[in-house]
A and B are shown apart, each in its own frame.
Chain A
Amino acid sequence: MITQVHKIRRFALVLVLFWSAGIAFSFYWFYRGEQQTVLAIGRAEARATFEKDTLYRRWATRHGGVYVPASEQSPANPYLQHVPERDVTTPSGKALTLVNPAYMTRQVFELADSQNNLVRGHITSLNPIRPENKPDPWEAKALKQFETGVKEVSEVQQMGGRPYMRLMRPFVTEPSCLKCHAAQGYRVGDIRGGVSASVPLDVDAAVMGDVVTGAAVSHGFIWLLGVGLIGTGARVLGRSARAIEEREERYRTVADYTEGWEYWQGPDRTFRYVSPSCLELSGYSREEFYADPDLLHRIVHPDDQPCYENHVRESFCGTPKPIDFRIIRKDGEIRWIAHICRLVYTASGVENGIRGSNRDITDRKMASETLREQAVLLEKEVRERMEREAELEAKNAELERFTYTVSHDLKSPLITIKGFAGAVLKDVEGGNLQRLDGDVRRIMGAADKMSALLSDLLELSRIGRIVNAPSLIDMNLLVKDVLAQLSGPVQQAGVEVVLQPGLGTVWGDQPRIGEVLQNLVENAIKYRGEQRQPRIEIGMRDEAGGAVFIVRDNGIGVPAQYHETIFGLFNQLDARSEGTGIGLALARRIVEFHGGKLWVESDGAGQGSTFCFTLNTRPPEPLEQG
Chain B
Amino acid sequence: MIEGEPLCILLVEDNPDHAELAIRNLTDAGLVNHLFHVEDGEAALDYLNNRGRFADQGAYPRPHLVLLDLRLPKVDGIEVLKQVKSSEQLKAIPVVILTTSAAERDLAQAYNHYANSYLTKPVDFDSFSNLLRDLGFYWLAWNRRPTS
Contact = CB atoms under 8 A, between A and B. Distances in A.
B100 A415 contact: yes
Interface in B109-145: 121-126, 128-129
B125 A575 contact: no
A571 to B, nearest CB: 7
A575 B40 contact: yes
A595 interface: no
Interface residues of A, number: 28
A419 B14 contact: no
A360 to B, nearest CB: 65
A411 B123 contact: yes
A422 B127 CA distance: 10
A575 B14 contact: yes
Contact of B73 (A420, A422, A574): A574
Interface in A155-172: none
Interface in B58-79: 71, 73-74
A415 B14 contact: no
Contact of A418 (B103, B105, B124): B124
Contacts of B40: 575
Contact of A576 (B39, B74, B121): B39
Contact of A408 (B21, B24, B39, B71): B71
Given A419-B128, A446-B17, A576-B39, A414 B123 contact: yes
A418 B125 contact: yes
Counting contact residues on chain B (CB < 8 A from A), the size range is: 20 to 34
Contact of B128 (A407, A412, A415, A562): A415
Contacts of A408: 71, 99-101, 103
A411 B103 CA distance: 13
A416 B74 contact: no
B57 interface: no
Contacts of A574: 73
Given A419-B128, A422-B126, A562 B74 contact: yes
Contact of B100 (A412, A418, A562): A412
Given A404-B101, A408-B100, A575-B15, A420 B21 contact: yes
Interface string A385-418: 0000000000000000000100111011011101
Nearest to B24: A423
B34 interface: no
A420 B23 CA distance: 13
A574 B16 CA distance: 12
What is the interface of chain A mostly: helix, strand, loop, or mixed?
Answer: helix
B101 A416 contact: no
A82 B15 CA distance: 210
A572 interface: yes
B51 interface: no
Contacts of B103: 404, 407-408
**Which residue among A419, A570, A572 has the maximum number of chain B CB atoms within 10 Å of its CB?**
A419
A421 interface: yes
A573 B21 contact: no
- Which of A407, A409, A415, A445 neighbours the largest number of chain B CB atoms within 10 Å of its CB? A415
B73 A573 contact: yes
Interface string B68-107: 0001011000000000000000000000000111110100
Q: Which of A414, A416, A421 has the most CB of B within 10 A?
A: A416
Given A408-B71, A408-B100, A422-B129, A576 B124 contact: no
A322 B69 CA distance: 72
Given A422-B125, A575-B16, 14 more contacts: A404-B105, A408-B100, A408-B101, A411-B100, A415-B21, A416-B21, A419-B18, A420-B17, A420-B21, A421-B125, A425-B125, A446-B17, A571-B73, A572-B73
28 contacts: A404-B103, A407-B102, A408-B99, A408-B101, A412-B15, A414-B123, A415-B18, A415-B100, A416-B21, A418-B128, A419-B17, A419-B21, A419-B125, A422-B124, A422-B126, A422-B128, A423-B125, A442-B17, A442-B20, A445-B17, A565-B74, A570-B71, A572-B73, A573-B73, A573-B74, A574-B73, A575-B40, A575-B73
Interface of A: 404, 407-409, 411-412, 414-416, 418-423, 425, 442, 445-446, 562, 565, 570-576
